[in-house]
Structure formats: C-alpha cells, structure tokens
A and B are shown apart, each in its own frame.
Chain A
C-alpha cells in the first residue's frame, strides 16, 4: 500500500477524518449535514403544526379555552429562559472561535443550566395538568381526562373555563396536541443537554480552538433550532385565546 497517496501529511489536524481532503471540507460537510438534519426536524414538527392548524380551525372556542388554562407566566418564563440559553450558546461558539477555553466551558455550562431550568418548569406544568386531570385519553392508566369545568362566575383556577361554543370533548384534542408537541420538544431538549455534556467534556480537554470548533458550531445550530420551535409553540399554545378571557362563558 506504499503507493497510496494520503492526505494525512505531517501537520494535518488530528481531527481530520481520512476521507476528507482538508479541515475546510470537513467543516463544510458537517455544517451542511446538520442543516439537512434540521430540515427533517422541520418536517417532523411541521406535521404536528399541521394537525394543530386543522383542529384549531375546526374548534376555535375549545382551543381558546384550553389554551387559557395553561399558565402564561410559566410559559413566558420558559420562553425567556430558552432565549437566554440561545445567547449563551452563541457565546460559547464565539469563545471557541477566539480560543477562549474557559469562557467556552462557562457558556456551555450556563446553557445546560438554562436548558435544565426549562425542563424543570415544564415538569411543573405537566404535574399541574396531571393534578387537574387534563392528561388526554388513557396515557396515565387510571387517571383519565376528566377536568372539572367551572360554572359561570366561578373563578377557581384549577377548573376549566369554557369559552362560548367550546365542549370538553374538543378540549381534549387540544391537550393531546399540547402534550405531543411539548413532549417532542422536551425530548429534543434532553438530547440537546446530552450533546452539551459531551461538548463540555471535550472543551475541558482542550479539544476546541480557532482551528477546530465545528462540533460546537453544529451543536449550536441544533440548540437554536430547538429554541425556534419553542418560539412558535409559545404563542400557538399559550396565547391564542387570551384576548377572549373577558368573554368567558
């Protein structure tokens, strides 16, 4: 095999894979690969957004009532948390680009803390739904969908306040969409946290610098994408019926 020409010349970066000619090609391929993967994620979530659109179009009152029952403060806090985490992630990428290893690690850890905060708040919200018997179908065996409906004049927050024209039946439809979409989103967050852990360990070992930081950049793309999904989920799930709160039936 001595005639085989290799690109593994002396001085080639240790992270260069054997089938690439140079680091630039490897970085380009990695970035394009992550974007193509994000396209699949867009279609993945897109199908759920489509289901949401169709059913909201058909049952606007039920959707508004159900949406109003979600905790807007927790939702807004979560939105802010994710935006800050996107900022820290972008700063992590910047830190590797300028070779600041310590800042990289700090930013990655901050991103993880914020991501975990998001998941924690989500867990609180899920628990609230469980407590109010809003988990659809038989997802939790023995704890079916059975919310208490508020009568006119009752201001109990744990009860479902129905807007004119809404039925409890169709409210269940909203809740499966809510759980499907936020659940899928949370799953992607958890995977993102796993990726962050790996990146932090690699950064701790000094693997990243101005000449090689593609994994951080590519993971950043994934993280920002998860943020973008939430940017759309928040208004669609939490805000759509707020302007009707004065007209509760």
Chain B
C-alpha cells in the first residue's frame, strides 16, 4: 500500500486558513450577534479549523475508512454524553414545582 505524501504547499494553504480563522474568530467575538449566535459563530469557526487540522495535518483525508470510523465513533460517543446529560438539565424546569 503506497503512502500518500502531502505536498508542503497544501500545508501552507491550510496553515494560512487556520491563521485566518483565528483572526476571524477574534474579530467576530467583539461583534454582538443576536441571541446565542455568538457561541454558534465561534464554535462553527472552531469546528472548521479543527476539521482542517484533522483532514490535512493528520492526513485523515488520505486515510482508510477504518480511521474515519474511529474518529466518527469518538464524536458520536461525545455527542451521546452531551445530549443525554443536557436532556436532564434542559428539561428539569419543565414540570412546575409541586
């Protein structure tokens, strides 16, 4: 199985994108978006940055499906932990106190 060698210029492009994302998120942080959107914007940028690191710096774009499955499983399990715990906190106040 041949190993895919990622060219340095791709790394440079990704690096610049990451720096841009960092600048963007700092600027966006000072802008007052309506409602909870500040958090949404910040997290979206963070997720995009993380995805770039995973796909290119960590070579996942060129990796086997098994690795994709491993990463997907980790995210799925994290989601389970968050979703079910938050389901408790979010719904605690739904019932009126007796």
Contact = CB atoms under 8 A, between A and B. Distances in A.
- Would A and B touch once assembled, by the CB under 8 A criterion? yes
Interface in B18-65: 18-19, 22, 25-26, 29-33, 38-39, 42-43, 45-46, 49-50, 53-54, 56-59, 63
B79 to A, nearest CB: 10
Nearest to B63: A31
Nearest to B7: A94
Contacts of B63: 31
Contacts of A72: 26
Contacts of B82: 46, 50, 53
Contacts of B56: 90
Interface string A84-106: 10110111001001100000000
B29 A235 contact: yes
Interface stretch (A176-184, A200-208, A239-247): A239-247
B95 interface: no
A124 interface: no
A79 B46 CA distance: 11
Contacts, number: 119
Interface size class of B (residues with CB under 8 A): 35 or more
A24 B1 contact: yes
A150 interface: no
B5 to A, nearest CB: 5
Interface stretch (A4-12, A34-42, A151-159, A165-173): A34-42
B3 A80 contact: no
> Looking at A32, A72, A90, A94, which has the most chain B CB atoms within 10 Å of its CB?
A90
B70 A32 contact: yes
